Amino acid sequence: MKRIGMLTSGGDCQALNAAMRGVVKTLFTSGEEVEIYGFLEGYRGLIYGNFRMLTGADFSGILTKGGTILGSSRTPFKLIREPDENGLDKVEAMKQNYYKLQLDCLVILGGNGTHKTANLLREEGLNVITLPKTIDNDLYGTDMTFGFQSAVNIATDAIDCIHTTAASHGRVFIVEVMGHKVGWLTLNAGMAGGADIILIPEIPYDIDKVVQAIEDRKKRGSKFTILAVAEGAISKEDAKLSKKEYKEKLKNSPYPSVSYEVAAQILERTGNEVRVTVPGHTQRGGSPCPYDRVFASRLGSEAGKLILDGEYGFMVGYKNREVVKVPLKDVAGKLKMVSPDATIVQEAKMLGISFGD
């Protein structure tokens, strides 16, 4: 008998259910007797012992279902060692609930913060296997995360739709894409959607260069310009500020996000009408695309195999088109950023895309 705990933590995304289904179907197909304990609302469920027993029926029909059947929540890693409002030691509580249920392993699906806590639990002696979930594709140790391709599809659709109205009215349009710290989603959706300017956090922009790119398009006879802007895009001036100074600037900013600030600056310098579109959480929602269904199923299957083989302390990742196991200690606390010198960035520039630098 193997007793497996499972939880989904952090922001939701497409293919979480597909990944969990992959784990469970692999375990059940092996003929091993298995009990699955689903912790509700992420680490919160593990901390407070909020779980339910899951059967094969719970995983039937969820391959195409977005979100997560277990629910999710954010439990910041920086607060994980701090007692809750009632003085409860959260780390000790998670360990005790693990031992009370006599679990053989915890399967944890999540992004960067989730992996930090998962690695902490590994260091505390628990058997842990993780799966890389995030629309940002910023997890270290894997070339791809599930949820990313589905989010790219949605953000690209938004840019595609903007094309027709931008062309009809001859306007400048900004599509704000999710991504506070990294620009993989904006970069890929921007290229796929034919954006003329792409602004991402890793390449601080000069607003004068952005305006120049718009003016250059006008001179070439283009009546409209589309910008794909990451929500974490930052100007060269702001990039020189300390974290404290930048947070203070954002706190006192009259703009709801960087896209609106860029829009106001473009209007001021060019007189062009600028419209901002924010797809927002639609990028996390809906059914996973076929790529993510297959990808998440493959990762889940490999996680199931690791459990059957008794191999713990790994994230199941994807490197060089192969599913691999990556030591969790090598993943936690690291971000996979877009390098300004990356070939995809250079290729985008060769296509005439401006990054405002």
Active site residue ranges: 136
For the CA atoms of 119, 326, 285, 36, the dihedral, rounded to the nearest 10 degrees, stands at: -70
Strands (E), the chain: 2-8, 34-39, 51-54, 105-110, 128-132, 172-177, 197-199, 225-230, 274-277, 314-319, 322-327
Beta partners for residue 198, in sequence order: 228
Q: If you write DSSP's letter for every residue of 213-276 in order, what string do you get?
A: HHHHHHHTT---EEEEEETT--BHHHHTS-HHHHHHHHHT-SSSSHHHHHHHHHHHHH---EEE
User: Tokens 């784990």, residue?
Assistant: 23
Q: What is the DSSP letter of 203?
A: S
- Beta strand pairing status for 197-199 and 274-277? unpaired
For the CA atoms of 120, 114, 199, 357, the dihedral, rounded to the nearest 10 degrees, stands at: 10
CA 312, 64, 31 angle in degrees (round to 5)?
Answer: 45
| CB-CB neighbours of 248 under 10 Å | 12
d(CA 10, CA 256): 23
Residue 228 φ/ψ, nearest 5 degrees: -100, 115
For the CA atoms of 45, 280, 257, 353, the dihedral, rounded to the nearest 10 degrees, stands at: 130
